[in-house]
Chains A and B, each alone.
Chain A
Amino acid sequence: MKKLAVVVLSVLLLVALSVGPSFAATKTTITFWHAMGAQLGATLESLVNEFNAQSPDVIVKAEYQGNYGALSQKLVGALVARKPPTVAQVYGNWAAEYIDGNELVPVEKFVKGPNGMSALEVEDIWEGLRAGCVFDGVWYTMPFNKSVYVLVYNKDAFEEAGITKPPTDWQELLAAANALTIRDGDKIVRYGIGLRPNVDIFATFFFNAGGEWLDAKGKVNVNSPAGIKALQFMNDLLNKYKVAYYVPGYLDADFGAGKVAMYLTTSPGLSYTAESVAGKFDWSAAPLPYAEAKYKSTPVAGTDLAIFSRATEAEQQAAWKFVKWMVEPRQTAKWAIGTSYIPVRKSAMYLETMKNWFSEHPREEQSLQQLRYIKYDPNIAAWSTIRNDISEAVEKVFLGKATAKEALDAATVKGNGRL
């Protein structure tokens, strides 16, 4: 009997081997452009390899394009040359631009198709993330490497300053920053909080003051009272109370060196923080402080996956298989564990691996607490330039070259001119 089994197996194997090449010939190869380097890139590679190994009919060629700036440049160049990849990581405002040029296929088409997603599966994607992928009512892209902002704080420093819990509102944030600032004569040895002069860090205050990027008529609304309040508060931390400083670059090294006791970062930034701190002190992460509890929120960062319309129907279908697979609970959990991005599917939270990981990584879990409060950038093509206008305004105010109102008024006029 055993012998027979061996023979049968051998025959099957021979058959399999002989048809193997013809199988391979029918496989559809698609390209996937991404901007994930280092650890993030390694995790992505391993997921892509896993997909390729288990997929009978699709081969994904993942191609690293450098950072987001490089990826954007190359995508624009590739679209001009009419040779875009099949799938790419894209920011919402890039997608808006591509959609204007009819360059993307809405994922909605596939979701409703034969190899689609059930209503339950769709609802399993965090609503806030899904909403960020909808353009003019059409669901175009798939949330992928998403993160939210958290407040990172030095627990040892908090303890020394007699602060028992991370600040929840701005008054507590100000008081904590003040208590954590160490002055030695005219010099400041440690600042309470570190800021960066850009639109992303401004957004963490803007949303938490009740700000909305666009008003009901779709006009730029950054000079609203909430906008002025947020920028003024940031500036007050810097210049009125001198409990904060700002740098254009990343703050993890300064945090690790004890030069600053709190700063704001996205969840994948926590791994850098851990490296910088290198066990020198105890630290943790907390939700972003708010101006008023009703405005509690966090900007969501990161990109989504887009399928390009220049691909053939077969390639598009292959791309969809890959995109759908990538955000399935098991994969999104692996992705989250490898990178500290948030899992885009709610059910991933019930997987043992994910539960174990969060219990070992309480800081990362803080991100999840914020998932219900996410806010995202407007999905309009002009937004990437308007973002620069806002960053410029923030920088001007930090440098004392304009008041918050003046700078945001100017950014609003500029921004509306771009719409």
Chain B
Amino acid sequence: MRLRLRDGRCLLALMAMVVGLAVIASVPVGAVADAPWDDYGFYFGNLHSHTSYSDGVLTPSDAFQVARDAARLDFLAVTDHGYYMQEATNLHLWYKAHEEADAMYEPGRFVTLIGFEWTFTDGHMNGLDTAVAASRDTQRDMQAFIDFLVLHDGIGVFNHPSYDIQPNWNDFEYRGDADRQVALIEVGSGSYTHNITNERAYQRALERGWFVGAASNQDNHRANWGTVAPTRTVAVARALTREDILDALRSMRTYATEDGNVRLFFACEGQAMGSALDIVRGVDGSAAPMEFTIFVDDPDSQDRLASVEIVSNGSVVWADKPLDAGRYVTSAKLAPSSSYSWFYVRARQADGDLVVSSPIWITSGTGINACNIVPASIVPQVGRELRVKAEIVNRNASPVHDCVVTLFTSGEWGKEAVGSVEIDLPAGRSSDVEFVFTPSHVGRCALELHVASRAEAPDVFPGAGMTVRAAGIPRVMIDEGHNNRYSGYMNRLVALLADAGYDPALSSGAIDSALLDRADVLVVNMPEQGFALTPTDFADDEVRAMADFVLGGGSLLLAGWSAVDDGSRDPGDLNNVLSLLGAAVSYDADDAGSPDLSDIVDVPWGADSLRAEEVRPLRISGSSARVVAELGGTGDADLAVFATIEKVGEGRVAVLGAPVFSDYDLFRDGYSNARFTLNLFNWLCGGEWSAR
């Protein structure tokens, strides 16, 4: 597709289209006078910073001065921790900060703001435009803080929403009262150059129904307000005054940028980012495409645009690679894929700087959103009961009664309703719904949820895709009923197997014939004595059951673990199984327990290598066991055996020195543990061992 810009340049639009989205055309934007961004100024600032009034350095006056003169910001909010300013000895700091801010406020030149940071375990939040500061000592939970924001009609900001450092407000659980106050989220956070690292959280918040715009703040704790990096929150405002900046923040007319002066505007049908529009229905009732406009302009000639994307409901739905530097203006017609859709722009410059806009929402106007429409079972299978869960969010300030929620599946065979529930939706909250049905078609299918809150057309929400497997695929049972180091760390193996067409399951009980009747392959990691909720060894009849299972045609995968001097890792039970099977391999019971023996295992069938920690070597006492991996030692003398495969009775047994398939090791960069594991399972399920 070729796009023609208004200044006559052409560019090639590299499309990334998503199913269900119709791009009708990308057309030139009209005359300059019509450009919606002409009504606004672009003001570059920072909404999160500290001084010695809490745990930073110097004073708000110093911060404002550095931000204004050295960093050339248009606005700065000093947001010291609330609990410092609530203490009996320090309340005056809050007022002092305001005094300093007022003294340095110059409408039209520099806007000074005083806010506070509320440090709560679920996630820290900034508050702006409040008469006093909230504190973790006074506002002790989320509700208390929200009540505070409502009382003072303050602006809330979700701070540094990284899942690595905080639970992100119970993963952005929806709360209508809070949503009316919280305007921004730190898509970018921190005092460094490429700080836009929280897009995952941004999307999660949008997905769960929050109306929040994009910010990139520095959270300065040193004397580097604005100077530490060119990252900025940009307020697109009528004028550079406190009122106008705060209005831009409340209206979410903002974007987050890693570049210090790039201008960006995103609009739909003339409405700026931060706006919510109603879906326009075509004659057939379907959502009609709407016109989105993107404007990007960087005064620095070297800051070329590398890519521009529109992200909607978690996917890139439109993309372009501009060929030229300078002003970039384009438009695209996109139809929303859901009754609750959000769109934002992600632009990347040639130097890697990211710019992320606030969203535009296009919704049915009912105030209902649905998300997390996913199968609860790992392997959907024909003829087996499947649970599908979904979350319905009522964004309205009043409850919605008698909602009919219907789940559809659609695939090559067509579309069918598979379940329906009726629920009442409480105001400003999310509700969980669950469907149980039995798939009857093999293959890929998509989930779709219809929510009918009134007599009119239902809201339609696309859900996850899933692959329904045929009946009779190999069943893998992973023992977690005996304490071992890797219980709880088999999730990636389960996902890998499910994806590869196996039917994996975790077992937390005893191993007996009833359990083994439900398995084709049994995976057992070596137990460990110690603090445990499950037995730390195998009973005799469990050992017998495992042996009988293999002799009768089942497959067994054993994984060991090196010794430690307290005797807590004993290979006795596993060796008993191998002995009952008459296998030619056993675990080295005299392992000296040298964890540093080798972290790397060389695989003789190629240049690849495996990674494993704390390996217990194997002993071979016959020719029936085939060695498939050896420990890479120093020198070439007598490599210790790491992995063998062996046919015994009607079944097969694979023995490993360590579980190369644990969550820690399965997908290590530079190692081929996953491929080796799939090769093993292929062999265990009757296939041939392949060298590659």
Contact = CB atoms under 8 A, between A and B. Distances in A.
A244 to B, nearest CB: 12
B167 interface: yes
A325 interface: no
Contact of B140 (A175, A186, A245, A275): A275
Interface stretch (B85-93, B306-314, B464-472, B516-524): B85-93
B532 A66 contact: no
Nearest to A402: B664
A251 B376 CA distance: 31
A356 B252 CA distance: 58
B366 interface: no
Interface string A389-415: 000000100011011011000000000
B487 to A, nearest CB: 5
A83 interface: no
Contact of A236 (B52, B90, B488): B488
A366 interface: no
B533 A276 contact: no
Contact of A37 (B87, B566, B614): B87
B476 to A, nearest CB: 20
A174 B533 contact: yes
A264 B136 CA distance: 19
Interface residues of A, number: 47
A405 B595 contact: yes
Nearest to A243: B533
A37 B488 contact: no
Contact of B84 (A37, A233, A250, A399): A37
A42 B613 contact: no
B613 A406 contact: yes
B166 interface: yes
B431 interface: no
Interface string B129-143: 000000011001100
Given A41-B89, A253-B140, A276-B140, A171 B531 contact: yes
A69 interface: yes
A170 B438 CA distance: 44
A247 interface: yes
B242 interface: no
B120 A253 contact: yes
B166 A248 contact: yes
A286 to B, nearest CB: 18
B613 A73 contact: no
B564 A225 contact: yes
A186 B375 CA distance: 13
A111 interface: no
A242 B533 CA distance: 12
Interface string B455-470: 0000000000000000
A403 B664 contact: yes
B403 interface: no
B95 interface: no
A240 B87 contact: no
A405 B87 contact: no
Interface in A161-205: 170-171, 173-175, 178, 186
A45 B485 CA distance: 52
A247 B531 contact: no
Contacts of B88: 38, 41-42
Given A174-B531, A174-B532, A249-B119, A67 B485 contact: no
Nearest to B144: A253
A291 B564 CA distance: 17
Contact of A70 (B52, B136, B376, B664): B52
Given A174-B532, A403-B613, A66 B488 contact: no
B164 interface: yes
Interface string B482-516: 00010111000000000000000000000000000
Contacts of A403: 613, 664
Interface in B87-140: 87-90, 119-122, 136-137, 140
Nearest to A171: B531
Nearest to A396: B164
Nearest to B163: A399
Contact of A253 (B141, B565, B663): B141
Interface string A40-56: 01100100000000000
B165 A248 contact: yes
Interface in B581-622: 595, 613-614
A23 interface: no
Contact of A251 (B52, B121, B488, B663): B121
Contacts of A186: 376
A232 B533 contact: no
A69 B166 CA distance: 21
Contacts of B119: 249
Contacts of B376: 186
A42 to B, nearest CB: 6
A241 interface: yes
B358 interface: no
B55 A257 contact: no
A70 B485 CA distance: 42
A323 to B, nearest CB: 22
A250 B141 CA distance: 12
Given A67-B84, A70-B55, A241-B533, A405 B614 contact: yes
A269 interface: no
Contacts of A257: 141
B364 interface: no
Contacts of A171: 531-532
Nearest to B86: A38
A64 interface: yes
Contacts of B488: 236, 239-242
Contacts of B564: 225
Interface centre among B89, B167, B376 (most CB of A within 10 A): B89
Contacts of B664: 400, 402-403, 406
A405 B614 CA distance: 10
Interface centre among B55, B136, B531, B595 (most CB of A within 10 A): B531
A64 B84 CA distance: 11
Interface string A245-273: 10111110110110000000000000010
B22 interface: no
Contact of B120 (A37, A73, A249, A406): A249
Given A171-B531, A251-B121, A66 B52 contact: yes
B531 to A, nearest CB: 5
B57 interface: yes
29 contacts: A37-B87, A38-B88, A42-B89, A45-B89, A66-B55, A67-B54, A67-B84, A70-B52, A70-B54, A73-B57, A171-B532, A174-B531, A178-B533, A186-B376, A225-B565, A225-B566, A239-B489, A240-B488, A241-B533, A248-B166, A249-B166, A253-B120, A253-B121, A257-B141, A276-B140, A399-B164, A400-B664, A405-B613, A405-B614
Given A45-B89, A249-B121, 10 more contacts: A67-B84, A175-B533, A186-B376, A241-B533, A248-B121, A254-B121, A272-B137, A395-B164, A403-B613, A406-B613
The 6 closest A-B pairs by CB, nearest first: A240-B488, A249-B121, A247-B121, A37-B87, A38-B87, A170-B531
